[in-house]
Amino acid sequence: MDDGHKGSLPPISLADVRTARVTPEEALALHAEGRPGKLEIRLTKPLITARDLSLAYSPGVAEPCLHIHRDPALAYDYTSKGNFVAVVSNGTAVLGLGNLGALASKPVMEGKVALFKRFADVDGIDLCVDTEDVDAFVDAVKHLGPSFGGINLEDIKAPECFVIEQRLREVMDIPVFHDDQHGTAIVAAAGLLNAVHLTGRELRDITIVINGAGAAAIACAELMKAMGVTPRNVILCDTKGVVYRGRTEGMNQWKSAHAVETQARTLAQAMDGADCFFGLSVKGAVTPEMLRSMADKPIVFAMANPDPEITPEEAKAVRPDCIIATGRSDYPNQVNNVLGFPFIFRGALDVRASTINDAMKVAAARALAMLAREDVPEEVNTAGGGPGKSLRFGADYIIPNAFDPRLISRVPVAVARAAMESGVARKPITDLTRYARALAGRLDATANAMELITEQVRANPRTVVFAEGEEEKVVRAALAFHNAGYGTPVLVGREDRIANVLRTLGVQLPPGITIRNARNSDSNRRYAEFLYARRQREGFLFRDCQRLVNQDRNVFAGCMLALGDADAVVTGVTRSYAVALEGISAAIDPAPGEVTFGLTLMLARVSGTVFVADTAINERPDAATLAEIAVQSAAAARRLGHEPRVAFLSFSTFGDPKGHIPGSLREAVRLLDERKVDFEYDGEMAADVALDPVLRAHLYPFCRLTGPANVLVMPGLHAAHILTKAVPRLTSATTIGPLLMGMSRPVQIVPMDASVTQLLDMACLAAHAAIGR
């Protein structure tokens, strides 16, 4: 997702946009559905009573105002300034689309704010400044400084972006960072450090050719020199050829700063014998002949988006010894800006840095490089390696995965340390080890884990049956599944009905999607015989089984799955959970030794993800069932990146008050004691005790849980339904599920009101469960 080459890329077409595996219609639908856009403001303090308002506003708000007036640094203590970044643009270089203007840049700026929050828990707001006048832009931004802890400049064309950043850095006492320049440079520098290490070179000795002279290219040249590359060994090229000393055509002060003494005049001449190539230009700029002329073990960063200067396939065909990186996620070694800017600002904000200097950029690059050399967490390795591969430091892994959960605790620490050592930190951190631990707890692991799951499914696509294939949102979900590269969707339904839905949507059925009509399928006889063999001693005649296969799409889908004609099934939008499960269960059994139950993920803004079970099947589970639900739920939590802490919930806490249900819960705890499981668990306890460690430590110091419970095992289906149905409508929590656990084959049943996105997520989870079977 490198978007940092605004000064040198041509506009991209909608056809190019489709290489990201989303359609324009899907993108528009996401931005328009529900509350338009991607951002909203949420309160961090309760404002319920008149007293709350008096404290938060008049008259109470006068106190922090007076204190800040006396000591401006207190703004960081009494306001959101210290965790607040402005993402600012005038829209003169929006992605690769060119000058779209300030208003049209707003979706990108909102997206940038979302990435800040998603990856580093940095709050932000988008500011679209409607002027192309440099003086007016600088004046507008500099006067907004009191509101923010940092300024992220975005989508501003070169050369104006250089002037704007430099002038704002001179007049503002907070970090000003143009990500289009420095973000790409920092991530590419990390990859270069590792490529140089792998090829036995030294930075001071290598020769680099940089093709492109826009914002990102200039920043790359500057950072490479700051890191130790000999200045005369960096050759910059633009559309007119090599930037050499004495050249006058197409020059400006920023290019002139990197002009060198050389006889080379063309890109091809410059690349002859070069160790490294940095491309921030256009598709196809590098020919096989150019690559062939480079030094042994050439290092190639072909970062033009969406199509690189030379593809990895082309490069490896002529130079098998090369190390190559691109800006694309479907190739190894992605130069992705999201590896940089969120974490750089996180570190800068936390030490209240007055600027982001070269030392901090170099520190970020080195931290990224060192992280790639470490063993990769299993959940990242499994998702990112692809079939038969693993992520290990080497030619195909010189840059960390963007969803590596360790980034939040590594890069900000390095940036903060560099800020302190270079004298720009106004609030030094004395214990960086404790700081790293605190950073690791800022983000919920579920979001990373879900993204890693989708990556693994893309690398191992599966065939998923969408059992209710005549429904519009099911068809849309199947199209999205196909477009995302997750595998082959199978729509169960009548061809004419599905064709009508497609006409309504204004799309054609892609070649990769299959339709199966249950009534006239050539597999019906085989499915009926299979079903009859299973059910003949349960009162079913053969004709009963034929009728079920012909008329019940869930039965038909279950037979497809059971007999190996598909890898997974998703259903539920037209039938209740119980009815859908009954149809699937006609063909699919529970996994041996496991309990079938529903596991719901509740993603809350403050507390993170909590797993709730059983939310679908067992009305009054006995102690043995409760214990097994706890074991399977803990395993699921671990697969999603959480260390499980299981609480058995009740109205009673450790025997007070007494009642019937707590007895079975206490027995479930005893059974887990006997099994010697490897996760924390305790109960019975009330929900507030489970979720509040302070309350628990005060009243129940003997409790085994060391932190807030994140797996809640409910005493019955009624309690689970009340919790998971009410909380999302009363709070900002989001739910995923209930996930159907304990089946012998991958099946997911969505709620009847599931959205297209929920259907897609559940289909992806079902496909993921099928990998390795």
Q: Is the Cβ–Cβ distance between 250 and 240 less than 8 Å?
A: yes
Phi-psi region of 742 (alpha: psi -120 to 50; beta: other; left: phi over 0): left
Query: Rounded distance, CA 165 to CA 593, Å?
Result: 63
Distance CA 538, CA 545 (A): 11
Q: Is the CB of residue 224 less than 8 Å from the CB of residue 190? A: no
In order, the DSSP letters of 288-353 are: HHHHHTSPSS-EEEE--SSS-SS-HHHHHHH-TT-EEEES-TTSSSB--GGGTHHHHHHHHHHTTB
545 Cβ neighbours under 8 A, 6+ residues apart: 528, 529, 531, 532, 535
Q: Are 465 and 488 in contact (CB under 8 A)?
A: no
Distances (CA, A) of 141 to 21, 88, 123, 587: 36, 8, 18, 64
Tokens of 22: 């989303």
Catalytic residue among 112, 157, 225, 473: 112
Task: Return the residue matching tokens 């009847």.
Answer: 752
**Sequence-distant (≥ 6) Cβ neighbours of residue 295 within 8 angstroms:** 207, 273, 274, 275
- Alpha carbon distance 306, 232 (integer Å): 31
| Contact between 189 and 125 (Cβ < 8 Å) | no
Q: Is the peptide bond before 738 cis (omega within 30 degrees of 0)?
A: yes
Tell me the two tokens of residue 450: 């879900």
Give the C-alpha separation, 144 to 193, whole Å.
Answer: 37
How many Å from the N-terminal Cα to the C-terminal Cα in the chain? 32
Instruction: Give catalytic status of residue 486 as yes or no.
Output: no
d(C-alpha 169, C-alpha 163), whole Å: 10
- Residue 539 bridge partners (DSSP): none
Measured CA to CA, the distance from residue 131 to residue 692 in angstroms comes to 50
8 A C-beta contact, residue 183 and residue 4: yes
Report in angstroms the alpha-carbon separations of 755 from 30, 554, 667, 737: 11, 19, 39, 12
Residue 377 per-residue DSSP state: P
**DSSP annotation of 252:** -
Answer for the pair 196, 264: CB distance below 8 angstroms, yes or no: no
Q: At what angle do helices 358-373 and 407-421 cross, to 10 degrees?
A: 150
Q: How many helices (H) and strands (E) does the chain have?
A: 32, 21
Residues 6 or more apart whose Cβ sits within 8 Å of residue 194: 369, 372, 373, 393, 398, 399
Does 658 qualify as catalytic in the annotation?
no
- CA-to-CA separations, 645 to 611, 633, 656, 728, 730, in angstroms, rounded: 10, 10, 22, 22, 25
> Cβ contacts of residue 164 below 8 Å, gap of 6+?
134, 137, 138, 141, 153, 156, 178
Furthest-apart CA pair in the chain: how many Å? 94
- For helices 577-585 and 553-562, the axis angle rounded to 10 degrees is 40
Active-site positions read 57, 112
